[in-house]
């Protein structure tokens, strides 16, 4: 009688949001799920780890993670996991993901085996140089190839800040390092303007006209409704997608008897983690009230999947803010609305979701709404942020005010020539 072949343990590759890639399996004795950090984003390396883990489990070798000992010689993968567990978990999800992405790129370039390998002056200086050159800039999310070329000094600075923040945490909070090398930071120019601009109504109409070309006839109206919501609300794309008719854990419009309508924004939806209410702009209120009372439940904005355009089955009912943002950029490009000219051999920037937020702010300012109230709607702690990036005015406006106050002709040169 043949002996029964032992069952191969099931090991899963899991990519949790805002964290590193993990291998997971269920312990046969305790029935508890065991999670092991891979410490890499290389797909072939992850597959090798998965096969090795399955082989160990098949042979009965204990594969559960051992107690990690901190210090300069701790494996880099262990350090990443501890940094994630003890430091990054307290950050907002988008902040965690931004740090993880930067550390993943730095890891692929520097290839550190231990914490001390990364906390090395030569390694850090070499990392900064290679980041500037564009090393690993062709690798996008999930390993997709993108030809991005060299990085800007501002981008490189953000990557180095992420790495040095992690190393300083290891030194100051955990005492795993005695020192962190000083790195001469790459020189960056001061950003005077935002990466984009407000668009006018004619440009917005052009954007609306191209919606059907990108998303298809069936999804067209849902995406136009979304665009109008961005145009009239001053909300960020993630915030607009979390606008709900009644659930208080999301952003909810509130109409109270004898009071003006407001938007209630819970702390988790805010950058500063502070619960807040802001005026519901009349133009956004008009858009919302287009929905009949009987249909005012659930999410307010529901852009339909693009799978309908291709005649395919819809796999995901609720799109992510990142995906929606990409589609909106595609629509802006289709409409040919350029908000920032190309630099050198680069490509121009086309209208995006955030440019519609800028547009709303500019229209409020042009209508004479005081800066303090515009800042309130945008939820800026400092009015200067509103003035600098969202309602900057123009040189022509300033020139006109000066000439008016000095009581001189608006066009002196024209007066002289006549």
- What are the pLDDT digits (tens) for 79-111? 998 998 889 887 777 788 889 999 999 999 999
Could you give the strand order of the β-sheet that contains 262-265, starting from the edge strand earlier in sequence? 252-254, 262-265, 276-279
Q: What are the extents of the domains in the chain?
A: 12-58, 76-172, 201-340+347-395
Residues 221-236: tens digit of each pLDDT: 999 999 999 999 989 9
Q: What is the C-alpha separation between 113 and 107, in angstroms, rounded?
A: 9
* Residues ≥6 apart with Cβ < 8 Å to 38: 20, 21, 22, 23, 45, 46, 49, 77
Q: What is the C-alpha separation between 102 and 153, in angstroms, rounded?
A: 14
312, burial (CB in 10 Å: exposed 0-12, middle 13-18, buried 19+):
exposed
Cross-strand partners of 36: 23
Q: Which CATH architecture describes the domain 201-340+347-395?
A: Orthogonal Bundle (1.10)
Count the neighbouring beta carbons within 10 Å of the beta carbon of residue 64.
11
Which residue, 195, 301, 152, is CA-closest to 240? Answer: 301
Which residue, 92, 94, 394, 374, is CA-closest to 234? Answer: 374
- Dihedral sign (CA 311, 316, 317, 321): negative
Count the neighbouring beta carbons within 10 Å of the beta carbon of residue 92.
15
Residues 346-399: tens digit of each pLDDT: 788 999 999 999 999 888 888 888 888 888 888 877 766 666 656 655 455 656
Find the length of the chain.
Answer: 418
Phi/psi of residue 113, nearest 5 degrees: -95, -35
Give yes or no for a contact between 181 and 171, defined as CB atoms under 8 angstroms apart.
no
At 114 the pLDDT is 94
pTM of the model: 0.61
Q: Which of 5-9, 36-40, 103-107 has the lowest mean pLDDT?
A: 5-9
261, burial (CB in 10 Å: exposed 0-12, middle 13-18, buried 19+):
middle
| Mean pLDDT computed over 398-418 | 62
Give yes or no for a contact between 322 and 351, defined as CB atoms under 8 angstroms apart.
no
The structure tokens listed for 396 are 């022509």
């Amino acid at each position: 009688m043949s002996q029964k072949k032992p069952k191969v343990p099931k090991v899963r590759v899991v990519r949790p949001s805002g964290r590193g890639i993990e291998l997971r399996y269920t312990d046969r004795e305790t029935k508890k799920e065991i999670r092991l950090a891979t410490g890499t984003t290389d797909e072939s390396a992850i597959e090798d780890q998965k096969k090795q883990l399955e082989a160990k489990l098949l042979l009965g070798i204990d594969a559960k993670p051992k107690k990690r000992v901190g210090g300069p010689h701790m494996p880099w993968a262990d350090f990443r996991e501890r940094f994630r567990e003890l430091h990054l978990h307290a950050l907002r999800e988008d902040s965690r993901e931004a740090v993880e992405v930067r550390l993943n790129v730095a890891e692929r370039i520097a290839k550190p085996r231990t914490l001390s390998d990364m906390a090395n002056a030569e390694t850090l200086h070499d990392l900064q140089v290679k980041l500037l050159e564009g090393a690993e800039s062709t690798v996008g999310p999930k390993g997709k190839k993108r030809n991005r070329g060299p990085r800007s000094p501002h981008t490189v600075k953000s990557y180095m800040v992420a790495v040095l923040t992690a190393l300083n945490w290891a030194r100051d909070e955990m005492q795993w390092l005695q020192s962190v090398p000083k790195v001469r930071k790459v020189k960056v120019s001061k950003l005077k303007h935002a990466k984009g601009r407000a668009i006018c109504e004619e440009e917005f109409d052009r954007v609306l006209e191209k919606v059907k070309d990108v998303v298809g006839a069936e999804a067209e109206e849902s995406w136009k409704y979304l665009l109008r919501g961005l145009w009239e609300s001053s909300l960020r794309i993630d915030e607009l997608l979390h606008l709900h008719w009644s659930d208080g854990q999301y952003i909810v419009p509130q109409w109270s008897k004898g009071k003006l309508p407001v938007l209630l924004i819970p702390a988790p939806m805010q950058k500063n983690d502070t619960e807040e209410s802001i005026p519901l702009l009349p133009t956004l209120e008009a858009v919302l009230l287009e929905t009949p009372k009987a249909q005012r439940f659930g999410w307010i904005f529901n852009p339909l999947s693009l799978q309908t355009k291709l005649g395919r089955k819809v796999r995901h009912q609720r799109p992510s803010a990142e995906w929606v943002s990409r589609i909106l950029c595609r629509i802006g490009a289709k409409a040919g609305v350029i908000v920032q000219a190309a630099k050198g051999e680069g490509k121009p920037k086309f209208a995006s979701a955030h440019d519609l937020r800028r547009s709303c702010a500019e229209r409020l300012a042009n209508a004479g709404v005081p800066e303090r109230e515009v800042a309130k709607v945008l939820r800026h702690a400092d009015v200067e942020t509103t003035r600098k990036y969202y309602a900057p005015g123009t040189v022509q406006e300033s020139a006109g005010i000066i000439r008016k106050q000095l009581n001189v002709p608006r066009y002196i040169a024209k007066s002289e020539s006549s």
